[in-house]
Amino acid sequence: MALSDGVELPGTFGIAQEQIRIFMAGGVPIDGEMAAETEDDLSGVDDIVDRFGIDDLVIALSASGSTPYSCEIAKKAHAKGIKVIAIANNAATPLLDLADVAIVLPTRAEVLAGSTRLGAGTAQKVALNVISTLAAVQLGHVFHGMMVNLKADNAKLRGRAVGIVANIASVSEHEAERALIASARNLKLAVLLAKGCDAATSKSLLAEHQGRLGGCLAALENLQKA
């Protein structure tokens, strides 16, 4: 669940790939095969936690709330003073006790007994979607329901970027495309350019408002009225 959410964040919200690290017992599978016994393998936990810095945030997942791998990482991270969010589907479990923020997702018994990829897994995926989307909103990567920091690295996303710039800046798609080319596909910068702001001022506004497009547009409107 974490892997499926995490791999979307660079493209969707422009979050640097190196800011997202996903760890699974036995390693992230590259061929679709994951041995069941790996969740009890704690051999690599120390090396993983050694990579964490004090400003990192750990989100530890376990359907049962007692998975050894998740609990051990949460325990060692917490001991280093690193903030831990724990998500589990059973209350009063070891993983939740180790967390700074404990999120319980009480789900009913699985339709297939023990198959936590169903109810528990779906609930965790929803929770992760909410967390990552709200984080992106607070980082200023969403404007009026649009992904204004997306990484336009394929034809579909380049087309979406053109539509977003045209919509926000109230310009034609041709003008939006020109602004995106001039901004090296930086969508927020392209919006400001399309609104008639010069490159230097646009970059200054983005820096001043920490990349939050709403603040930039409000400031630009004041400048253009002056």
Catalytic residues: 8, 39
**At residue 29, what is the residue type?**
P
DSSP-based three-state secondary structure for 10: helix
Distance of CA 179 to the CA centre of its chain: 27
Q: Residue 87 forms beta bridges with which residues? A: 61, 103
Are 147 and 161 in contact, with CB atoms under 8 Å apart? no
For the chain, what is the radius of gyration of the CA atoms?
21
Strands 101-104 vs 142-143: parallel, antiparallel or unpaired: unpaired
